[in-house]
Amino acid sequence: MDVGNGFLHPDRLFPADPATRTIARDLYETVRALPIVSPHGHTEPSWFAEDKPFEDAASLLVIPDHYLFRMLHSTGTNLDELGVPRLDGKPVARGRDIWRAFAAKYHLFRGTPSSLWVDHAMSAVLGCTEPLTPENADTLYEHINEQLAKPEFRPRALHQRFGIETIATTEGALDPLVHHQKMQKDGWIGKVRTTYRPDGVTDPDAVGFRDNLVKLGEITGCDTTKWDGMIDAHRKRRAYFRQFGATATDHGVPTAFTADLPASERQALLDKALKGPLSAADAELFRGQMMTEMAGLSAEDGMVMQIHAGSRRNTDSGLFATRGPNMGADIPTRTDWVGGLNALLSKYGHAPGLRVLLFTLDETTYARELAPMAGHWECLMIGPPWWFHDSPNGIRRYLDQVVETAGFANLAGFNDDTRALLSIPARHDVWRREACGFLAQLAAEHRISRKDAEIVARELSYNNAKRAYKL
């Protein structure tokens, strides 16, 4: 993993206490250069399939990163200035103008993880010698664009330079995986792999849900008007995704609710969903039943089930109407994991080979629910801090609250969960530094030996992710 420092401080994020910092620094040196395992994320598969040069600094660093334009939107920046596409097709800013608008307000990211990621990308990867300011924006823009024109900055070269052992993209159930087909011919499946994301045909509130179910039936030759036929269609699509390296599924749900209805009630619920919009209660029941069905399929085919629960998505209706989803207007909500997963665990919790990774935005559940659950159920592992909490302090809070009850073995390591390719080594570097800082404190207090701290540092940085995702 390329983590050269440039203008970055070599001891960033390490403990302030000199003795503990020395331990953290030593531990970090044992994991700094480990390969990156990126088993969940949202980079564009076309990047790796086509291997074309990136257009410019703005399209690479700004436009794909909703962490950035979320903050800028909150301070009055029009998203047109940041090049965020409009659904009506009207023109938005491009290239240098985007970069200048970003540089003018880059100071707003002081103390945030975004500044860590962007500074790391610019310094350690792109060779910039100073942080971004309005005064040097044009100079850095030209420098970055010159770098991006070189062969060593194409997507496949960056994949290798970053030491990425494997990276997973995420595609919907109806995706033909054209880019993965190209990568398969090039021998790149394994280096890049897909992930099965069926929300478009498991969530009745998804845009085009009924049309999606029809298309799912057409693709698979299954009768998706029948509950068993619909589940068999998923079975076939999951098998298709496994041809392109998939070892995991991903489910973004508003709550952790699961259900286990009798067959007649399942079919009646599907019949209602096919006729028209469901009530909020019935939509939640449908999603809950589908989560249990997906767990059953995972118990059957061995694919790891990821549950990302607890986000109220697209809360800015005006922004959603003009820009679409994933514009930064998603807000964490309270999540009931114990009650929510009761139906799923009652039916499949002891199924051999089932693995379910739990990701939460509700940090109050770490010590109260997730750690005790993962500390009991063999099938459960706790995913790393996600989204708003994928940050230095978020990682510290996470480790502090889950390790005593769940141990290190029940943690799923780290995944970067990003669309921004150049932030991947930065995010893994932050995780490794914070994990080493946490372990250094344990070692300084003689709660763990230095040798064991080195072992755990490697597990958290590399081994746990491979084991969690069955890689």
Q: What is the mean pLDDT of the chain?
A: 95
Of the pLDDT bands very low, low, confident and very high (cuts 50, 70, 90), residue 154 is very high
Q: What domain range is 263 assigned to?
A: 18-53+166-468
CA atoms within 13 A on the CB side of 36: 31
Are 197 and 250 members of one domain?
yes
What are the DSSP calls for 136-189, one per residue? Answer: THHHHHHHHHHHHTSGGGSHHHHHHHTTEEEEE--EETT---HHHHHHHHTT-B
Give the C-alpha separation, 361 to 308, whole Å. Answer: 8
- Token pair of 343 as six digits: 């139906």
**Within this chain, do residues 61 and 41 fall inside the same structural domain, yes or no?**
no
Say if residue 41 is in the same domain as residue 60. Answer: no
pLDDT-above-70 percentage for the chain: 99
On whether residue 363 sits in a domain, the answer given is: yes
Residue where a domain stops, chosen among 153, 174, 197: 153
In a domain, 190, yes or no: yes
Number of domains the chain is built from: 2
Q: Is residue 120 domain-shared with residue 207, that is, in the same domain?
A: no
- Whether the predicted pLDDT of 380 surpasses 60: yes
Residue ranges of alpha helices (H) inside 324-447 are 337-340, 342-348, 365, 371-374, 392-406, 424-444
Stretch 168-191: mean pLDDT, rounded? 98
Per-residue pLDDT tens over the stretch 410-449? 999 999 999 889 999 999 999 999 999 999 999 999 999 9
Per DSSP, the residues of 13-27 read TS-SSHHHHHHHHHH
Q: Which of 118, 153, 188 is a domain's end point? A: 153
Residues 315 and 343 in one domain: yes
Extract the tokens encoding 236. Answer: 């076939």
| Ramachandran angles phi, psi of 406, nearest 5° | -95, -15
- Give the three-state DSSP class for 305: strand
Closest CA to 251 of 216, 213, 297: 297
Residue 429, domain member (yes or no): yes
Residue where a domain stops, chosen among 121, 153, 185? 153
Asked if residue 362 is part of any domain, the answer here is yes
464 belongs to a structural domain: yes
The enclosing domain of 120 has a CATH number of 1.10.2020.10
Q: Which residue has the higher pLDDT, 338 or 318?
A: 338
327 in the same domain as 178? yes
Q: Looking at the structure, tell me whether residues 462 and 365 fall in a common domain.
A: yes
**CA gap 127, 161 in Å, rounded:** 14
User: Is the domain of 314 the same as that of 299?
Assistant: yes
| Residue 2: pLDDT band with limits 50, 70, 90 | very low
Q: Is the pLDDT of residue 63 over 70?
A: yes
Task: Let me know if residue 12 belongs to a domain.
Answer: no
**CA pair distance 320, 15, nearest whole angstrom:** 41
d(C-alpha 463, C-alpha 183), whole Å: 26
Domain with residue 251: its CATH number is: 3.20.20.140
- Is the same domain home to 140 and 188? no
Residue 10 lies in a domain: no
Residue 463 DSSP SS3: helix
Dist. CA 15–CA 25, nearest whole Å: 9
Instruction: Calculate mean pLDDT across residues 107-126.
Output: 94
Q: With respect to residue 11, please indicate whether it lies within any of the assigned structural domains.
A: no
144 and 291 both lie in a single domain: no
> Which residue type occupies 4?
G
Q: How far is CA 197 from the centre of its chain?
A: 12
**Predicted local confidence at residue 461, as pLDDT:** 98
Statement to judge: residues 376 and 440 lie in one domain: yes
Checking if the pLDDT of 359 tops 60, the result is yes
* pLDDT higher than threshold 70 for residue 5: no
Q: Are residues 202 and 349 in the same domain?
A: yes
pLDDT band of 3, cuts 50, 70, 90 = very low
